[in-house]
Copies of this chain bind each other. A is one copy, B any other.
Amino acid sequence: MGFQFHLMKTEKETGARLGKIITAHGEFETPAFIPVGSQASIKSMTSDDLIEIGVEIISNNSYHLYLRPGHRIIEQLGGLHRFMNWNHPILTDSGGYQLFSLGQLREICTDGVMFQSHIDGSRHFISPEMAIEIQRSLGADIIMSLDECIPYPASYEYALRSTTLTTEWARQCKEALRGNGQALFGIVQGGMFEDLREKSARELREIGFDGYAIGGLSVGESPEVMYHIISHTSPLLPREKPRYLMGVGKPEDLIDAVKGGVDLFDCVIPTRNARNGMLFTSFGKLVIKNARYATDERPIEEWCGCYTCRHHSRAYLRHLYMAREILALRLNTIHNLYYYVHLIKGLREAIRQDRLVNFCKQWKKKRENKDDL
């Protein structure tokens, strides 16, 4: 069974969308949040942990897996789902973002990117065809076109040249696709320039993809600029295909983007912040190392249903963090992922019941009450 997206509803007041994605490894509703598992592991989590949290789809990173353990090894072992024992939907990034953030001594040409591994300095060349071949070997349900992710700020000329290149690479990716049931998404680039976003979206629509991503955001621009580009770009994308905002973001960013008609998100924030002791709650950020939690018997959040909140006090979590215990990473990650997954589920219900604006108002109001922190 191949990939399907069903748009079930668009909320009139906001334009927020409720949808369903069906893959060979199961289905899930959108909006959906995709935890990031760069190296075939959502850091510190087993598949059972993720299922218990309510995670429905995870991402993996082609750049990392190409370098280690190697996509051929994963293919030989039956693909990524089997390799990491996750029998649910997986999305793989093409590696574009990592090529430009981790790879060293890059040389970009129309054919692809020459780069040195951040692990051992070895030289590699990734073309659009190669990006598809790697992702075919890995076997994810949703795969991404190779794109150039430009820094911020970038000149109009550079952004224009790069957008043209990304379109060309997207075309080559589409042509390299073997039609094995994997859904291929194109990635809209164009920096912070409205007309380049329009050009990118138009050209990608002409090629035709199973879904469309908005890339190149959360790279240093202000939240206002980011939201402007999202709300400008989202309506340019085909109504009947899923829209995926890459690498974003904070809970408030997700809420704004859902209102702007975005369906999918991935971001390291919940997992990375968890490992740094920054916990999300409905009343704001809780920094677990604060001395005020040393004897605080309450869970992170009283009404949270996650494993961590059901079993452990802030005092214990603070102790684990201060003592640099490994368990701190895991318990904090469970809580933050649960927060994100359940925020998204709350947004779904609000869209279903035509009360998203009210949901968001209440959500923001709760945050102003810091008594429970």
Chain A residues close to B by CB (< 8 Å): 39-41, 43-48, 64, 68-69, 73, 76-78, 83-85, 294-295, 297, 307, 311-313, 315-316, 318-320, 322-323, 325-327, 329-331
Q: How far is the CB of A141 from chain B (nearest CB, A)?
A: 19
Q: A43-B326, A69-B322, A330-B330 are in contact. Are A85 and B294 (CB under 8 A)?
A: no
Least CB separation from A76: chain B residue: B295
Oligomer: number of copies? 2
Does B85 contact A311, Cβ atoms closer than 8 Å?
A: yes
Least CB separation from A334: chain B residue: B46
Does B46 contact A325, Cβ atoms closer than 8 Å?
A: no
Q: A77-B295, A315-B83 are in contact. Are A322 and B68 (CB under 8 A)?
A: yes
Q: How far is the CB of A88 from chain B (nearest CB, A)?
A: 14
- Chain B residues with Cβ below 8 Å from A39 are 319, 323, 325
Q: How far is the CB of A350 from chain B (nearest CB, A)?
A: 33
Does B44 contact A316, Cβ atoms closer than 8 Å?
A: no
Considering the chains assembled together, what is the distance between the CA atoms of A260 and B318 in angstroms? 43
16 contacts between A and B (CB under 8 A): A41-B326, A41-B327, A44-B326, A44-B327, A45-B327, A46-B327, A46-B331, A47-B311, A64-B323, A68-B319, A73-B295, A77-B316, A83-B319, A85-B312, A85-B316, A326-B330
Does A329 contact B327, Cβ atoms closer than 8 Å?
A: no
- Chain B residues with Cβ below 8 Å from A319 are 39-40, 68-69, 83
Q: A311-B47, A330-B330 are in contact. Are A323 and B68 (CB under 8 A)?
A: yes
- Chain B residues with Cβ below 8 Å from A320 are 40-41
What 15 new A-B contacts, CB under 8 Å, besides A40-B323, A78-B297? A39-B319, A40-B316, A41-B325, A43-B325, A43-B327, A46-B311, A46-B331, A47-B311, A68-B322, A69-B322, A73-B294, A77-B315, A83-B313, A83-B315, A83-B319
Q: How far is the CB of A125 from chain B (nearest CB, A)?
A: 23
Considering the chains assembled together, what is the distance between the CA atoms of A307 and B294 in angstroms? 33
Q: How far is the CB of A206 from chain B (nearest CB, A)?
A: 39
Considering the chains assembled together, what is the distance between the CA atoms of A368 and B329 in angstroms? 39
- Chain B residues with Cβ below 8 Å from A327 are 41, 43-46
Give the top 7 A-B pairs by smallest Cβ distance, nearest first: A44-B326, A39-B323, A69-B319, A41-B325, A41-B327, A85-B311, A43-B326
